[in-house]
Structure formats: structure tokens, C-alpha cells
């Protein structure tokens, strides 16, 4: 917590209800939800194996005020890997790491 000119700033915080490792079966989605907070409102982004993710090609990202949901659908065993949910604001940043393993 930082106070500047009577304004409260809070570093981002992340949490989830998921385990760190998940199984992805062909044609079945995996949902990963990150819950976050911070002041000012943190920016959130998803990364897979070092590459920023956007909607499309088996990936869907849905953001709301304090949650972000990543949906992964794998039809060819190609969406496994390390997924990072990261948030940042002017005070700091936080990251959660998830391993998604494909089962074919």
C-alpha cells in the first residue's frame, strides 16, 4: 500500500480456485479463472509459453471488473503448455502459473 497526495495505491493481487496443473482432453474445454484487485485497476494479460494470448484459435479470454477467464479448447493436442495470468499497475505486478497437459 502506498499513499501519495492523499490517494491510496494498492499493488495487484491475484488468486484462483484452480490447481496449478490441469488436464486437457480433445474437444473438452479447460477454464482457468484469475481473480484480481489493485488500485489503480490492474491491466491483465495471459501468456502461453512466452507468447501473449488473444481470442481465437482455441483460446477465449473474457474479462470483467475483477476476474479474467481463459477458456482453452484443444482438438489436436496442441494447446498444452505453461499458461501465465499476469496483472500489473503503477505499483507492481503479480503472476499465477498454470500447467495444462494434453491427453490424447
Give tens-digit pLDDT for 50-97: 999 999 878 999 999 999 999 998 766 788 899 999 999 999 999 999
pLDDT value at residue 103: 80
Beta strand 51-52 pairing with 93-102: unpaired
pLDDT value at residue 100: 92
Indicate if the pLDDT at residue 2 is higher than 70: no
What residue ranges do the domains of the chain occupy? 2-102
pLDDT value at residue 7: 75
pTM for this prediction: 0.86
Looking at the structure, give the CATH architecture of the domain made up of residues 2-102.
Sandwich (2.60)
pLDDT value at residue 3: 62
Helix (H, G, I), strand (E, B) or coil at 31: strand
Q: Calculate mean pLDDT across residues 4-31.
A: 86
Residue reference for cell 496483472? 87
pLDDT value at residue 71: 94
Mean pLDDT, all residues of the chain = 89
Amino acid at each position: 500500500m502506498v499513499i501519495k497526495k492523499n490517494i491510496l495505491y494498492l499493488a495487484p493481487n491475484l488468486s484462483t480456485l484452480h490447481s496449478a496443473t490441469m488436464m486437457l482432453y480433445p474437444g473438452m474445454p479447460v477454464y482457468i479463472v484469475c481473480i484480481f484487485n489493485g488500485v489503480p485497476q490492474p491491466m491483465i494479460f495471459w501468456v502461453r509459453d512466452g507468447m501473449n494470448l488473444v481470442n481465437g484459435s482455441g483460446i477465449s479470454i473474457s474479462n470483467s471488473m475483477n476476474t479474467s477467464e481463459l477458456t482453452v479448447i484443444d482438438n489436436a493436442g496442441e494447446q498444452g503448455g505453461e499458461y501465465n495470468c499476469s496483472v500489473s499497475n503503477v505499483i507492481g505486478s503479480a503472476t499465477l502459473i498454470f500447467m495444462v497437459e494434453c491427453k490424447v
